[in-house]
Chains A and B, each alone.
Chain A
Amino acid sequence: MAMQEIEVTINGTRYEEMVEPRMLLSDFLREVCGLTGTHVGCEHGVCGACTVVLDDAAVRSCLIFAVQADDRSILTVEGLAQNGELTTLQKNFKENHGLQCGFCTSGILMAATDFIEKKPEADSQEIKEMLSGHLCRCTGYDGIVKAVEKTIEENKNSVKELNT
């Protein structure tokens, strides 16, 4: 089929591109937009490496076609840090050994960013359930769980400080 024109907002920047309907959103991000922070592992929804936030939900970008993202907005790992300053979650990944090779990291950061926003009080069990959607071959997950727990704790403390 003919190429179709799409307009997508990614990390606040508008992209207007022609795509074939069969192009996966993960390939669009990496190959058309040059945003290679989103990784591709399995291409069938199992590993979670390709996770991005579409509108207001973390989803697998390998299970969505780029045409389906027309008129939508997307947040990828490149959109997290502002002016070179890491988010609390990113900082905690760094400090708690939440990553080694980093292949799984961008997907986990995106899922966890969305998760913490929706469940600011999440406990360890809920964190682990959320992480079950991601495969990490290096860390053993311990550091990842700690990084998310610590972020939730710090967010709670900063809310408390704001209120006092």
Chain B
Amino acid sequence: MKPAKFDYHRPDNLPDALRLLDEAGFDGKIIAGGQSLVPIMNMRLATPECLIDINGLTDLDFIECKDHVVKIGAMTRQSQVEDSEVVGQNIPLLKEAVPFIGHVQTRNRGTIGGSIVHADPSAELPLVLMTLGGKVKISSGDEERIVDAEDFFITYLTTDLMPTEILTEIHIPVWEGQTGHSFMEVARRHGDFALVAASCQMAVDEVGRIGNVRLALGGVEAIPFLIEDAQTVLCGEQLTEGLIEQLAEIVGESVEPESDLHASEEYRRHLAKVLTSRTLRQAYERARG
């Protein structure tokens, strides 16, 4: 299993990387951590003619929190996010999700940007970005644009990113007040891609009434998606087992999972319901303190 031949460039700044990418056109491909790209190159499922290595773009390796938004550079390694205090304090949901991505040894190399651009339907980071209403910042030769997570993921392994663009940052709003979070998934073995993953963030008032709740599922359909009904059913209410069951039923009826070699449609539907209940319950308990 050896990759096909390619040209290799290692620019040390973003404008050079964008220029090289533009020149390469459809033959060009960015390599970040390589943890998704290199396996498929080794198997020759991908045979890019020109690789542009952005590991030299050290400006894209940062984590900062300003004005209630955490910004993370695309080249930040997943293990750095896992160990980051800024992330732990401000976006505990993200900190809880990262250890589910592969293994220590892949997180040491795999990047935030790479996982989001790769857009695997079961991937943890796109799911968290969707749950928290995050955004991505994208650069091309002549412009910069910011896209909402909800508009960024299009279908399996496909995003709104053009071949001449580079994802440079992700932005995640920090929730204020009394909040709770929960991330859970079911996978065959630790480190495998999730069969189904659920992710929830909630804010409650002093008497435990839900003010805001975002619940999203991954691994069920082509892209992670929000359960809009969570807002309508739960806002203004104190969480009860009855409400949890009501929402789990709605999820069970509305999701359209596919069967594949890892899990059947029914099993995924079942997991979607179970994980919906569990994450809601845990997020609420944590918010109540």
Which residues of A are in contact with B by a Cβ distance under 8 Å?
1, 4, 20-22, 24, 27, 43-45, 48, 51, 57-60, 62-65, 67-68, 70, 111, 115, 129-130, 132-133
Contact = CB atoms under 8 A, between A and B. Distances in A.
A4 B7 CA distance: 10
A27 B10 CA distance: 21
B38 A1 contact: no
Given A21-B7, A63-B39, A45 B106 contact: yes
A145 B34 CA distance: 29
B191 A132 contact: yes
B4 to A, nearest CB: 7
A43 B42 contact: yes
A64 B204 CA distance: 46
A129 B101 CA distance: 12
A74 B106 CA distance: 17
Contact of A111 (B6, B43, B102, B104): B104
Nearest to B41: A22
A132 B103 contact: yes
Given A45-B35, A59-B108, A21 B190 contact: no
Contacts of A115: 104
A65 B105 contact: no
A57 B109 contact: yes
Contacts of A20: 5
27 contacts: A1-B5, A4-B8, A20-B5, A21-B6, A21-B51, A22-B3, A24-B38, A27-B2, A44-B42, A48-B103, A57-B108, A58-B104, A58-B108, A60-B105, A62-B42, A63-B38, A63-B106, A65-B34, A70-B10, A111-B104, A130-B103, A130-B104, A132-B103, A132-B189, A132-B190, A133-B103, A133-B105
A51 B5 contact: no
Nearest to B40: A44
Contacts of A27: 2
Secondary structure type dominating chain A contacts: mixed
A64 B34 CA distance: 7
A22 B5 contact: yes
A70 B56 CA distance: 11
Contacts, number: 89
Ranked 10 nearest A-B pairs via Cβ: A133-B103, A21-B8, A44-B39, A57-B108, A63-B38, A43-B1, A1-B7, A133-B105, A132-B190, A59-B109
A70 B109 CA distance: 16
Interface size class of B (residues with CB under 8 A): 20 to 34
A133 to B, nearest CB: 3
Contacts of B8: 1, 4, 21, 65, 67
B246 interface: no
Nearest to B4: A22
Most buried by B among A1, A63, A64: A63
Nearest to A42: B1
Nearest to A2: B7
Contacts of B108: 57-59
Interface string B63-103: 00000000000000101000000000000000000010011
A108 B12 CA distance: 33
Contacts of A51: 105
Interface in B103-123: 103-106, 108-109
A19 to B, nearest CB: 10
Given A43-B1, A60-B105, A63-B109, A68 B55 contact: yes
B150 interface: no
Contacts of A45: 35, 38-39, 106
Contacts of A44: 1, 38-39, 42-43
B208 to A, nearest CB: 32
Contacts of A4: 8
A101 B10 CA distance: 39
Contact of A1 (B1, B6, B99): B6
